[in-house]
Structure 1
Amino acid sequence: MIYVRPTSLLAHRRQEEEEASAASTGFLPVLRSSFPNLAPPGSSTLPLSSLQAALSLDAPTLTSESTPVPDHFHLILASLGKTLASLIFPKGDDGEIDWIGFLIGYNRCCARMPVSQSVNLLYRLYAALCREASAPCGLEFDPDSDENDKVGGSLLPGELLVLLWICWVMGHSSRIAKMPKGGKDPLVLPDVSHLLLSTFVSCGVVTEDESIWRCDVAGIDKGVSAQKLQTWVLTMVPGLSNCLVRYVQERIRDFSTSAESVSSSDLVSDDNSNGDVHDAYLLTRGRAWAVSLTQREKLSEELSSFQVNSWDLLYRQILSLSSIHGKGLSRFWSNVEGYNSSLFVLVSASSEDSTEHNNPRRWIIGISTAQGFENKDSFFGSSGNLYAINPIFRVFPPSGKEKNFLYCHLRPTIRVYEPNPKPVGLAFGGSIGNERIFIDEDFAQVTVRHHAIDKTYQHGSLIPNQGFLPVEASVLEVEVWGFGGKAAKEKQDAFKNRENLFSEQRRKIDLKTFANWEDSPEKMMMEMVSDPNKVRREDR
């Protein structure tokens, strides 16, 4: 890299400050490697056009799992690199960017900062993209204000949908960039209607839980204010602000080594290009992405890059197809036993409307746990979250007051008298007998209780219009996904092989190990039963 010594002490100090800020993110070596590859040979400055091209993304043909993609969305993605480079990277008098300007631009969006500041930057990027594409945008800015000032205005459902899709594309840019150009499979944007509904309910646009069941988000004619939307992001999906950070880092990292053409082996296709795939499992790409926005580090990465074919589906039960993995707690246990890594459980159930008994309502809840299940008669676990997945998305992290995260108790194989038998089933939160979520032994019924009985997870309704009384519903589907990777699955397979070997050994009977019948205690017991009054003398 060609370095030019700063001409003043002030510039030298500024460079040190910016380098220290970039180093705190662990990305400074990548910046040092990518800058000379972006700059012309022998030059110490970087043309803006070169940076715009580096931050651009050539997206393939687009389609959606649910709502049709607006025409202006293609124009927004086409101007992403140009708009982003012009927004965050300061130019010199000659219209080019030096090393300090390159650091300043990176730190503006990727350095450690409050989430509220990151959301404001995301707002400004979205508004600039909409201006370039002549797309509607209800956000308002004071032209004389600082970039960290509050943003005004509001976003309608269609505008918020585009914003969420932009964040999804930026968060998946590395995979999208490797898709074959001109391929027959389009890029399928996920269904995020549950996030839209969560936004409008949390921000007070949809005020009644009862209306959630019949709410058409696209038909809402009111917008959600920028301030309330920011609060929703902070409390519900803080990872949304990291999508821009991830995009800039991934695009710059591509130039950290000498530019090389992408080989055909590096090209990947979108496994979920078929629009019907999103209905095959409870855990869709849109739902997995929403959950990833609430998680951190590795778990967030694996959820965000959810692909059905690359994940471990440990257990699946469907009411009409119970033969997939079997039905009930015993079949569940045989599939998850020995898997000692992070899991995500989804339960789909149907409950009847209290006012309209012929109107069953289907809902989905989820549970994340950082460890595997154990067969115990008490609660266990160290961390986890509860989720309302559908029709509305909500997250309930631990409260820190209790640690009753998981409960898994199977019926004992040997029947013994128990004065106070523990419930047989699967539970999450609450206490024994008053579980926040309880699934019975047959996986036929799930009971969801009010959050007042639970001190493990934070308060809130898992089901719209839940009320204070326990909600009992019929279980329709159950899925358990493991994201411990190949190593966790191999350890589980080795554990199952050992258990099968021990079981086979216990079944085998070695006749040589048995003593003579005349000397056996079984013969003495039989004689005592037949003639208990017979006098016997112990042989010494």
Structure 2
Amino acid sequence: MGASTSAESRVSAEQKEAEAVAASTGALPMLQKAFSKLANPETNAIPLENLKQCFSFGPSYSGSTVPDSFPVLLDHLGSSIVDQFFVLDKGGINWVEFVRGYNKCCARVSASVSLNMLMRVFVAISEAANVPLHLEFESGEADCKINGHLLPSHVFLLLSLCWVMSWGSTNAKREGNLSLPDLNHLVLSVITSCGQVESGFNVWGDCDVSSLEVQLPAGKFVTWVMSTVPCLPDCFRQYFHATLQMAATDGAELASSNSSSVGDTSSIAAYDCILTKGRAWAIYITQKSTVNENISRTFISNGSGMDDNLVYRSSTHGRGLGRFWSHVEGYKGPLLILIAASSGDAHEGNSVNRKWTIGALTDQGFENKDIFYGNSGCLYSVGPVFHVFPPTGKEKNFVYSHLHPTGKVYQPHPKPVGVAFGGTPGNERIFIDEDFAKVTVRHHAIDKTYRSGSLFPDQGFLPVEGLISEVEVWGLGGKVAKDVQNSYKKREELFTEQRRKVDLKTFASWEDSPEKMMMDMMSDPNAVRREDR
């Protein structure tokens, strides 16, 4: 009897501890609903197969670069997650172990521990799918060192798996056809950052990077994730949380908020946009910010609502700073500007054009100033290789956007007219001319605002002038920023209409006109005139 009482108090203490951790994340009510719907009333435990089925991924998927091993990996997703995080009790998984499993994955932990959990799940899935990996963990601790190496094909599988989990987190019912995006720019980023590639390796070609036999050390890969895409492990944690939330609500609440995200009905989907799903997702996993929700809703959830987020596109709205300004003026929110350009191969002295794409993310709208401004931002090397250049904290020359002065005033030292990011006036790291015909990219040594690094492969030390083929600006401030801009445009149209109106009575009165006063003064300048008081 005493042993039974001791066991009950011990279980009660364990339960209180687990519930306290879950309550600190705000997920305890959701877990209680999910457990009540998944558990067997007779055993008061969740059957193992039911939970595995809950975490499994059901939708069909397509993609031109889907390897044969990827469908097998997805088939073992649910079982591997349950085996990693839940402990089986008699009759299934009881309440305490269910809450503990959630806490292991979704409680507040360091970034390194979160990445370690993701890698353990990936290794377990690969072993179940008979995909050979050369990774091993030094111990069973959550933040232990990972030894071994990865191949580009393994990196592609891991990134594809994380993309699927991001898609599953934003689509409650997980219905429809899932299309895997092009992730070569991210794989190339890992290869160039972690691997010892041969001198003849060509990042500009259309080769299948996943077939390359380049060993990527696990330690360097972890460093690449933490410095380039630190939010990659969050894809798994969000999938874990969204799965249990869907089980708690039967998809009703989540489906109502994301019902418009299923099915690509956007009219802009037919355009060949610079910002593809894969590139948008790459930006999504670089940092935790308010723009992530808009990127997720617009691009990860099958591209619904792209029309509402595209603020400016040079091929559609016209080239030049004037056309650009008429579309971005008044937008008071985060903006993502992308520039697709091409330049010759300066090293070989020929006229071969190499196409590259760079971008900048601002935390506010553009302003017409002849000085740099802004509080935060990031530069991106988008293609062919993806890299991110966050702020260094040394300077605040984030954005420069200057139009021609409205009045014809002589300026002995006129300021550059155009759009720029980083550097100093006249020596900008990225500078777009007023015609949107050329973009100049300078070496990072002249810029103390953004992190150092090449904005495209083989950039060199000398300034590179590229011919612009397309410029896009995407608004990531949500509906509020768009409504503020619409109100601003309506107010400007009203002011313009008022300025066009002329008071005909005053205009037609010669006695009150300034012209008559000037004529009188010229006819008799010595005449004494009394000012009317």
The alignment's TM-score, normalised by the length of structure 2, stands at: 0.90
Q: Which residue of 2 aligns with 1:204?
A: 195
Aligned residue number for residue 289 of structure 1:
281
Kindly indicate whether the alpha-carbon contact (under 8 Å) linking 1:188 and 1:272 is maintained by their aligned counterparts in 2.
Answer: no
1:315 equivalent to 2:305? Answer no
SS at match of 1:506: helix
1:96 is paired with a residue whose SS is: coil
- One-letter amino acid of the structure 2 residue matched with residue 163 of structure 1: L
Q: Residue 166 of structure 1 is aligned with which of 161, 182, 191?
A: 161
Q: Confirm or deny: 8 A CA contact 1:348 1:363 kept in the other structure.
A: yes
Equivalent residue number for residue 375 of structure 1? 368
- Write the letter of the residue equivalent to 1:189: L
Which amino acid is the alignment partner of residue 476 of structure 1? Answer: S
- Residues 1:153 and 1:389: Cα distance change in structure 2 (over 3 Å): same
SS of residue paired to 1:107: helix
Query: 1:461 deviation in Å?
Result: 1.2
Distance change >3 Å, CA 80–CA 493, structure 1 → 2: same
Question: What CA distance in whole angstroms lies between the structure 2 residues aligned with 1:303 and 1:343?
Answer: 11
Shift of 1:485: 2.0
Report the CA distance between 1:54 and its aligned residue: 1.5
The reply to whether residue 395 of structure 1 matches residue 388 of structure 2 is yes
Q: CA deviation at 1:279?
A: 7.2
Q: Of residues 63, 73, 83 in structure 2, which corresponds to 1:76? A: 73
Distance, in Å, in 1 between the alignment partners of 2:201 and 2:445 is 21
Q: Is the 8 A contact 1:138 1:155 kept in 2?
A: yes
Please give the secondary structure, in 2, of the residue aligned with 1:517.
coil
On the 8 A contact 2:172/2:242 being kept in 1, the answer is no
Q: Which letter maps to 2:127?
A: R
Q: Out of 458, 468, 475, which is 1:482 matched to? A: 475
Select the residue among 203, 217, 224 that pairs with 2:216. Answer: 224
Distance in 2 (CA, whole Å) between partners of 1:259 and 1:478 is 39
Q: Which AA in structure 1 matches 2:486?
A: D
Closer/same/farther in 2, CA of residues 290 and 262 from structure 1, 3 Å limit: closer
Q: What is the alpha-carbon distance in structure 2 between the residues aligned to residue 263 and residue 368 of structure 1?
A: 30
Cα separation, partners in 2 of 1:267 and 1:309, compared to 1, 3 Å: closer
Secondary structure of residue in 2 paired with 1:361: strand
Answer with 81-90 or 284-293: which moved more.
Answer: 81-90
1:278 and 1:428, CA in 2 relative to 1: closer, same or farther beyond 3 A?
Answer: farther
For 1:139, give the aligned amino acid.
Answer: L
- CA shift digits 1:191-242 (9 cap, x unpaired): 0100000001111333769843348323421121221111110010011010
Match of 2:180 in 1: 189
1:433-477 CA-to-partner distances (Å, cap 9, x unmatched) read 111111111111111111121121111111212222211111110
Q: Counterpart of 2:413 in 1: which secondary structure?
A: coil
Alignment match, 1:110: 106
Q: CA deviation at 1:124?
A: 1.5
1:300-332 C-alpha deviation (Å, 9 max, x unpaired)? 2322343344031110013xxxxx101100100
For the 8 Å contact 2:173–2:251, the answer to whether it is kept is no
* Correspondence 1:249-398 to 2 at 5 A: 249-257=241-249, 266=259, 269-271=262-264, 280-307=272-299, 308-311=303-306, 312-318=309-315, 324-354=316-346, 355-398=348-391
Q: 1:535 to 1:277 in 2, by over 3 A?
A: closer
Of 282-291 and 431-440, deviating more is 431-440
Deviation at 1:397, TM superposition (A): 0.8
Counterpart of 2:130 (choices 130, 134, 137) is 134
Residue deviations 1:369-405 (CA, integer Å, cap 9, x gap): 1111111121111111110000111111111112111
Distance 1:141 1:262 in 2: 37
d(CA) in 2 for partners of 1:72, 1:535: 97
Distance between the aligned counterparts of 1:174 and 1:439, measured in 2? 38
The separation in 1 between residues aligned to 2:286 and 2:120, in whole angstroms, is 23
- RMSD of aligned residue pairs (Cα, Å): 2.9
Structure 1 pair 63/441, CA: closer, same or farther in 2 (3 Å)?
A: same
Residue of 436, 440, 446 corresponding to 2:433: 440
- 1:538 Cα shift? 3.7
2:526 matches 1:536 = yes
Question: Which amino acid in structure 2 is aligned with residue 503 of structure 1?
Answer: T
The alignment status of 1:151 with 2:153, answered yes or no, reads no
Deviates more, 1:8-17 or 1:82-91: 8-17
User: CA offsets per residue over residues 157-190 of structure 1, 9 Å max, x none?
Assistant: 112111111011111114555354xx6xx42101
State the 1:537 CA deviation: 2.2
In 2: Cα distance, 1:176 partner to 1:298 partner: 19
Give secondary structure in 2 for the equivalent of 1:442.
coil
In 1, Cα distance between the equivalents of 2:204 and 2:281?
Answer: 22
- 1:165/1:382 Cα in 2 relative to 1: closer, same or farther (>3 Å)? same
Structure 2: stretches of 5+ with no match in the other structure: none
Matched residue, 1:178:
173
Taking a change above 3 Å as real, the CA distance of residues 376 and 238 of structure 1, as seen in their structure-2 partners, is same
Rounded to whole Å, the distance in 1 between the matches of 2:419 and 2:201 is: 29
The residue number in structure 1 matching 2:466 is 473
CA contact under 8 A between 1:58 and 1:177: conserved in structure 2?
A: no
Letter in 2 for 1:467: G
Q: Deviations over 1:499-519 (max 9, x none)?
A: 111111111211213374355
Give me the whole-angstrom Cα distance separating, in 1, the residues matched to 2:261 and 2:451.
40
Partner of 1:41: 41
Deviates more, 1:358-367 or 1:209-218: 209-218
Percent identity, please: 48
Task: Say if 1:187 and 1:270, in contact at 8 Å, map to a contact too.
Answer: no
Check whether the contact 1:383–1:405 (CA below 8 A) recurs between aligned residues: yes
Are residues 51 and 278 of structure 1, via their aligned partners in 2, closer, same or farther at CA, if it must alter by over 3 Å? farther
The answer to whether the Cα contact below 8 Å between 1:37 and 1:259 also exists between their aligned partners in 2 is no
Instruction: State the one-letter code of the partner of 1:387.
Output: Y
Instruction: Return closer, same or farther for 1:176/1:75 CA change in 2, 3 Å cut-off.
Output: farther
* 1:485-524 alignment runs, 5 A limit: 485-514=478-507, 516-518=509-511, 520-524=513-517
Conserved 8 A contact 2:172-2:251: no
Q: Is the 8 A contact 1:172 1:305 kept in 2?
A: no
Q: Distance in 1 between matches of 2:244 and 2:78?
A: 12
Secondary structure of the residue that 1:97 maps to in structure 2? coil
Contact 2:336/2:361 (8 A) holds in 1: yes
TM-score, with structure 1 as normaliser? 0.89
SS at match of 1:212: coil
Alignment CA distance shift 1:369-1:187 (3 Å): same
> Offset at 1:10?
4.3
- Secondary structure in 1 aligned to 2:133? coil
Q: Residue 213 of structure 1 aligns to which amino acid in structure 2?
A: W
1:98 Cα offset (Å): 1.8
